[in-house]
């Protein structure tokens, strides 16, 4: 017990110390976790052989991550992604496998071993890449979505790869002993997920499945996948209702963990990827009303286990082997990255990924991934790959993962030097109208639909090609181009327009557009979207007429619903809403005159003093409103 507590303290202390430092230096949390693992493992020797056992436990972080990703994707969304999954993702796996296999054969490896090496190195790191994309806010970019599509294809490809690897075992020596039994290292890998004391039944089931003929294994595999789908569709709701009767919050967490752990156990027994099974379950439950409950319960576990997984990768690097032939191993890791990057660069161009998106796609997927550890272990257990080659391959995989955060830093450097407008080729604008809408996201598209439905013509401008393509698919006309460019605005009819709607996501671009439009057309009425009060003040000073805060109107409606459910009549709640609205609009105008862009509002004495006075005025107005209602009732 004391040893377990000490090891837990070491891992947690390493994370708490190293990760904030890495984040402050702009290196990202993943590199911090990897550095922490190297520090407590090879450098200080605080952790040792138990790292592999901890890593198998920490792999549940990857499983949970894919389950949560699946919860965000309904089957319809997967169907919409089919072209990227089959085209972009499929080509990446096939071409990377072929290229890396050819290199391995050039170094005198048998074709079976070379093919296993190519399949192992073709897969990228789902854990590192998705974690980094989320931290940097790149998941919603075109490049980020393409990266996700390829990672998803790779996770799906694990199923046929695991089914195919045993077929390569014939003619390969080094994994089996002369009597045909699995070597000690392979046996340790085979039992890595199993406790010698508590999992005899699971081990027996796994052995039984492995002893079946090929068609039997196929039937069992299909049955396991079908069981996950059927349970997700028909059994989840009754189980959640049953858990709800207990009225214990921790039971929901227990059920969420049971779903992930149970699926992982089932997938392990039939020889499939637990991560893929969890992803499939997440997709099945994506349309369930319990989706948000599951996300909330599993998110803390996912983050902690993913961090632990990265630490074990760093701690498990075999520096003895690395120091024996450092130049060779580092060159091998760089060769893998370069070969995959070249293939990704070509595929990115074929699928029209340019500029930042193309570089993100190329650099994010150039490494080998955590599934490489699984495939190497499976290759040893089935006799496909000799132990010496497997040890070298594991180190190469770990080195490429260690280099990955540096590739994202390289992407940041490249991205900063690129012109923002370079990826966008503007459309030829052939029409103008009295209403120009700059930006057609969630906000702009609602304004556009309402104005057009009322019979007025609009000219919609947006710099995102996919957004414009989706608009056109639904029958709405829009033009691709940067709404802040003067030439595009003139072609759209800015000098003669009556109304300009500024719905851009970039705050600086929005202020710049408002200022330019006000100078070019002084009589123009400008309606703009702002995130908060400070943006409201900037828009006000730039010349906007009507400024809509993103959450203001929806917050007013929510507050009215609260008042209605606290006993006020619909009329009384509506009057309170109108009073608050009028007071807030008046307050914003007054405070805008006191706001200073170079001083935070909380440090602006005049601003704070007037804000306090206005809040007292609001409270007095509500008291008077309540008194009027009381007089009317008497």
Same domain, 237 and 334: yes
Contact of 530 with 539, CB cutoff 8 Å: yes
Determine the average pLDDT of the residues in 338-344: 95
Residue ranges in 212-273 assigned as alpha helix (H): 214-230, 236-246, 249-269
Q: Please indicate, yes or no, if residue 470 is contained in any of the structural domains.
A: yes
Instruction: Give CA 486 to chain center in angstroms.
Output: 35
- Number of independent structural domains in the chain: 2
Q: Give the separation between CA 477 and CA 461, rounded to whole angstroms.
A: 10
Determine the average pLDDT of the residues in 459-473: 81
Backbone torsions φ then ψ of 138, nearest 5 degrees: -105, 0
CATH code (residue 561): 3.40.50.720
Same domain, 626 and 495: yes
Helix (H, G, I), strand (E, B) or coil at 527: strand
| More confidently predicted of 389 and 45 | 389
- Given 382, 416, 450, the domain boundary residue is 416
Determine the average pLDDT of the residues in 411-428: 65
Q: pLDDT tens digits, residue range 553-602?
A: 889 989 999 998 988 888 889 889 999 999 988 898 888 888 888 788 88
Instruction: Indicate the pairing of strand 435-438 with strand 499-502.
Output: parallel
Cα–Cα–Cα angle for 372, 377, 381, nearest 5°? 145
Q: Please indicate, yes or no, if residue 216 is contained in any of the structural domains.
A: yes
Contact of 317 with 48, CB cutoff 8 Å: no
Q: 461 - beta bridge partners? A: 438, 479
Instruction: Give the torsion through C-alpha atoms of 271, 171, 103, 119, to 10 deg.
Output: -10
Chain mean pLDDT for the chain: 80
Q: Please indicate, yes or no, if residue 428 is contained in any of the structural domains.
A: no
Q: Please indicate, yes or no, if residue 147 is contained in any of the structural domains.
A: yes
Report the pLDDT value the prediction gives residue 204, as an integer from 0 to 100.
62
The dihedral sign for the CA sequence 324, 328, 330, 336? negative
Q: Give the separation between CA 37 and CA 309, rounded to whole angstroms.
A: 9
Beta-carbon contacts of 164 under 8 Å, excluding residues fewer than 6 positions away, are 119
Range of the domain at 188: 7-195+202-416
CATH code (residue 82): 1.20.1530.20
Q: pLDDT tens digits, residue range 14-66?
A: 888 888 887 777 666 777 887 888 888 878 878 766 676 676 677 677 677 77
Same domain, 65 and 152: yes
Same domain, 314 and 404: yes
504 pLDDT higher than 80: yes
Same domain, 163 and 59: yes
pLDDT tier at 179 (50, 70, 90 boundaries)?
very low
- Given 354, 383, 416, the domain boundary residue is 416
Q: Please indicate, yes or no, if residue 422 is contained in any of the structural domains.
A: no
Same domain, 313 and 445: no
Report the pLDDT value the prediction gives residue 339, as an integer from 0 to 100.
96
Determine the average pLDDT of the residues in 618-632: 72
Same domain, 302 and 361: yes
Report the pLDDT value the prediction gives residue 92, as an integer from 0 to 100.
93
Q: Please indicate, yes or no, if residue 426 is contained in any of the structural domains.
A: no
The 10 Å Cβ neighbour count of residue 582 is: 11
Q: Please indicate, yes or no, if residue 424 is contained in any of the structural domains.
A: no
Same domain, 274 and 360: yes
Same domain, 127 and 265: yes
Axis-axis angle for helices 387-417, 111-122 (nearest 10): 40
The 10 Å Cβ neighbour count of residue 538 is: 22
Same domain, 356 and 441: no
Percent of the chain with pLDDT over 90: 18
């Amino acid at each position: 017990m004391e040893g377990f507590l000490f090891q837990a303290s070491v891992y947690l202390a390493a994370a708490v110390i190293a990760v904030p430092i890495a984040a402050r230096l702009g290196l990202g949390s993943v590199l911090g976790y990897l550095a922490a693992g190297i520090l407590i493992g090879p450098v200080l020797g605080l952790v040792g052989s138990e790292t592999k056992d901890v890593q198998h436990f920490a792999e549940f972080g990857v499983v949970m991550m894919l389950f949560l990703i699946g919860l965000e994707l309904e089957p319809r969304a997967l169907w919409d992604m089919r072209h990227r999954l089959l085209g972009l993702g499929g080509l990446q796996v096939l071409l990377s496998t072929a290229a890396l296999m050819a290199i391995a054969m050039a170094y005198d490896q048998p074709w079976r071993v070379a093919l296993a090496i190519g399949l192992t190195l073709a897969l990228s790191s789902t854990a590192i890449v998705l974690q980094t994309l989320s931290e940097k806010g790149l998941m919603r970019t075109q490049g980020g979505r393409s990266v996700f599509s390829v990672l998803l294809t790779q996770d799906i490809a694990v199923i046929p790869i695991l089914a195919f690897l045993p077929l390569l075992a014939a003619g390969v020596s080094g994994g089996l002993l002369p009597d045909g039994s699995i070597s000690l290292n392979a046996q340790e890998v085979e039992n890595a997920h199993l406790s010698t004391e508590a999992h005899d039944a699971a081990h027996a089931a796994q052995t039984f499945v492995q002893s079946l003929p090929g068609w039997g294994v196929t039937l069992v595999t299909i049955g396991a996948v079908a069981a996950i789908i059927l349970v997700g569709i028909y059994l989840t709701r009754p189980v959640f209702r049953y858990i709800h009767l207990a009225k214990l919050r921790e039971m929901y967490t227990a059920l969420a963990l049971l779903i992930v752990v149970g699926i992982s156990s089932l997938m392990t027994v039939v020889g499939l990827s637990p991560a893929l099974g969890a992803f499939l379950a997440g997709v099945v439950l994506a349309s369930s009303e319990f989706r948000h409950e599951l996300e909330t319960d599993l998110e803390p576990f996912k983050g902690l286990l993913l961090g632990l997984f990265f630490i074990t990768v760093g701690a498990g690097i075999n520096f003895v082997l690395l120091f024996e032939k450092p130049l060779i191993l580092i060159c091998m890791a760089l060769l893998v990255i370069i070969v995959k990057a070249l293939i990704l660069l070509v595929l990115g161009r074929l699928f029209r990924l340019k500029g930042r998106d193309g570089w993100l796609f190329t650099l994010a997927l150039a490494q080998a991934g955590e599934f490489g550890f699984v495939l190497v272990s499976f290759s040893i257990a089935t006799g496909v790959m000799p132990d010496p080659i497997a040890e070298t391959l594991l180190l190469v995989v770990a080195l490429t993962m260690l280099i990955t955060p540096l590739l994202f830093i390289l992407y940041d450097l490249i991205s900063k030097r690129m012109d923002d407008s370079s990826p966008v080729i503007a459309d030829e604008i052939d029409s103008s109208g009295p209403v120009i809408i700059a930006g057609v996201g969630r906000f702009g598209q609602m304004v556009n639909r309402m104005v057009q439905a009322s019979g007025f013509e609009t000219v919609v401008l947006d710099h995102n090609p996919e957004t414009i393509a989706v608009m056109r698919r639904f029958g709405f006309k829009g033009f691709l181009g940067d709404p802040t460019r003067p030439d595009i605005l003139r072609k759209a009819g800015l000098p003669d327009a009556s109304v300009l709607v500024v719905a851009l996501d970039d705050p600086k671009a929005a202020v710049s557009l408002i200022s330019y439009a006000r100078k070019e057309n002084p009589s123009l009425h400008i309606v703009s979207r702002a995130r908060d009060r400070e943006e409201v003040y900037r828009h006000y000073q730039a010349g906007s007429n009507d400024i809509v805060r993103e959450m203001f109107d929806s917050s007013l409606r929510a507050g009215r619903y609260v008042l209605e459910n606290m006993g006020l009549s619909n009329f009384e709640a509506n009057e309170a809403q109108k009073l608050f609205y009028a007071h807030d609009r008046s307050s914003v105008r007054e405070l805008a005159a006191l706001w200073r862009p170079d001083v935070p509002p909380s440090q602006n004495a005049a601003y704070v003093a007037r804000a306090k006075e206005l809040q007292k005025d609001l409270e007095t107005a509500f008291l008077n409103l309540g008194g009027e209602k009381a007089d009317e009732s008497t």
